[in-house]
Structure 1
Amino acid sequence: MFDFRQLRYFIAVAEELSFTRAAQRLHLSQPPLSQQIQALEQDLGTRLLERDKRNVALTAPGKLFLEQARQILAMAEDARTRVAEAAAGFSGQLRLAYTVSVSFHPALPQILLRSGQHAPNVQVLLSEMYTEPQFSALRAGQIDVGFVRDMPAHEDDARCLRLDVIDREPLLLALPAGHRLAGRDHVELGEAAGEPFVVQPRELAATLYDRLVRLAASAGFHPVIRQQAQQLNGLIALVAAGIGLALVPASMQVVKLAGVSYVPLADPDAHLLLAVASRAENPSPVVLQFLQTVFEAKAALGL
């Protein structure tokens, strides 16, 4: 069976229509070139070239084989490129999950934009998922990376997963615009003791719910929960309606709803983690390439 070297030799002779010029182009002597062309013709069982002492011409089968030889080499080169891209993480598929609050943080769009520019042949499949379910999905191999808001609570998750911190995002108190604490440079959460709060259900968003309870406990009170909403933007609407106060990440300030004021919290632990989680062992080249993009985006954002 002929090989790629014989195909390259044949193409050179067919294009030059001269064994001498083809040999010079290929940087080898003429006898081995002639031997390889003869071996190719014997393998195919037909003459590809008509030659005499002065002229070389393609036969009809030779013209057909020239076209096929070029296609074979082009396909082989394409296969080589695709394999190299896959090995370097520049092609393939990436299943990415993120919590809803992360969609408001500038890191997510910047990372996705850079990833699309650096690895346009990687298909990114996005899904919204709360933090705890992301840890389970990572361990089960259902997603490849996740943008999470807390460290793993379970030892098995902590042992099996890798977390790269992107940001420790400040937490704000969302208040009705006419509230007595609105417009301040900062407040301590203890100043809101006795005020009603609106929260996401703990079974859906345990991270932010538990952070509110812990911060309130540090300030000496237990928050009064008046109403719940499944999404963060729903909490902002409840705040605007005067139903209660809400603890939200700083990136939620992009939600400009009339009647809502955002005030930074002075409490030292008033922040929310933002990290990218992946499996600790045997990460794919696509995941490693994506994590490199995360580090670059983080540096560009000054985080």
Structure 2
Amino acid sequence: MFDFRQLRYFVAVAEELSFTRAALRLHLSQPPLSQQIQSLEQDLGVRLLERTKRHVALTEPGRVFLEQARQILAKADEARSQVTAAAAGYSGQLRLAYTVSVSFHPALPQALLRYGQIAPNVRLKLSEMYTEPQFAALLAGEIDVGFVRDEPLHAQDARRLRLSVIDREPLLLALPAGHPLAGRSSLRLAEVADDAFVSQPRELAATLYDRLVKLATRAGFQPTIAQHAQQINGLLALVAAGLGLALVPASMRTVRLAGVSYVPLEDSDAYLLLAVACRADDPAPALQQFLSTVAETAVAAGL
């Protein structure tokens, strides 16, 4: 059976219509080139070239085979390029999840933009997902990487996962614009101990809910939760309606909603983790390229 080398030799001779010029093009001496063409013709059982001492021409089977040989070589080159790109992390598929709050942080859109420029042939499959479900999905092999807001609760899960911290994002208090403390440059949580709060249900968003309870407990009170909203951006509508205060990450400031004022907190630990999580033993090139891109994006953004 003929091989790719013979196909390349034949294409060179067919395009040059000269064994001498084809040999120069291939950086090969003429006798082995002639031998390979003869071997190819014997294997196919047809004459591909009519040749004399002064003239080389394609036969009709030769013209048909030239077109096929070009297609085969082009496909081989394409396969080689795709394999090389996949090995370098520039093609393939990446299943990525993120919490809703992360969509307001610049790390996510900037990393996706940069990655799309570096690896445009990687198929991205994006999903909104809370932090704890992301850990479960990673361990089950349902996603490849996630932007999370906390560390795994269980030590055995932490050992199987790899977390790269991007940011410790400050937490703000979202207050109704008419609140007496709305114009402050900062405040301590103890100053609003008597106010009602709005939050997401703990079963959906345990990270932010637990951080509110922890900070409040440290400030000497238990927060009163007056209303719940499914999504973090929905909390702001409740704040604007005067139904309570909300603890939100600083990037939520980009949501300019009439009737809402944001005030930074002075309390220690008033921050929310932002990290990228993946399986510790996942060597996928597309994933590794994405992790590198996220790290470079974080450095460029000064995080």
- TM-score, normalised by the number of residues in structure 2: 0.99
Runs of 4+ in 1 over 4 A off after TM superposition: none
Kindly report which structure 2 residues correspond to 1:169-248, keeping only aligned pairs within 5 A, or say none. Answer: 169-248=169-248
SS at match of 1:290: helix
Please name the residue that 2:256 is paired with: 256
The answer to whether residue 92 in structure 2 is matched with residue 92 in structure 1 is yes
Superposition deviation, residue 80 in structure 1? 0.3
Q: CA shift at 1:283, angstroms?
A: 2.7
Q: Match for residue 56 of structure 1? A: 56
Aligned mates of 2:129, 2:194 — CA distance in 1: 32
- Give 3-state SS (helix, strand or coil) of 2:242's partner: coil
Q: CA deviation at 1:85?
A: 0.8
Cα shift readout 1:262-289 (whole Å, capped 9, x = no counterpart)? 0000112100000000000133111101
Which residue number in structure 1 is paired with residue 114 of structure 2? 114
Q: Which residue of 1 aligns with 2:299?
A: 299
Structure 1: give runs of 5+ residues left out of the alignment. none
Provide the rounded CA distance (Å) in 1 between the counterparts of 2:272 and 2:242: 25
User: How far did residue 225 of structure 1 move?
Assistant: 1.0
AA in 1 matched with 2:58: L
- Deviations along 1:177-234, one digit per CA (max 9) or x if unpaired, are 1111111110011111111101110000000000000001111111111111111111
Match of 1:147 in 2: 147
Q: Give me the identity figure in percent.
A: 76
In the alignment, the residues of structure 2 paired with residue 98 and residue 282 of structure 1 have an alpha-carbon distance, to the nearest angstrom, of: 19
Separation in 2, partners of 1:45, 1:101: 68
CA distance in 2, matches of 1:200, 1:219: 21
RMSD of aligned C-alpha atoms?
Answer: 0.7
Question: What is aligned with 1:65?
Answer: 65
User: Helix, strand or coil for the counterpart of 2:170?
Assistant: strand
Distance 1:126 1:46 in 2: 54
What's the CA shift for 1:76?
0.2
Letter in 1 for 2:302: G
Cross-structure match for 2:166: 166
Matched letter for residue 218 of structure 2: S
- 1:43 paired to 2:43: yes
**What residue number does 1:12 align with?**
12
The equivalent of 1:101 in structure 2 is: 101
Match of 1:268 in 2: 268
Q: Which runs of 5+ in 2 are unaligned?
A: none
The equivalent of 1:30 in structure 2 is 30
Alpha-carbon distance in 2 for matches of 1:15, 1:233: 65
Q: Distance in 1 between matches of 2:167 and 2:183?
A: 26
SS in 2 for 1:97: strand
TM-score between both structures, scaled by the size of structure 1: 0.99
Q: Distance in 2 between matches of 1:14 and 1:161?
A: 57
One-letter identity of the residue aligned with 1:266: E
The separation in 2 between residues aligned to 1:294 and 1:42, in whole angstroms, is: 56
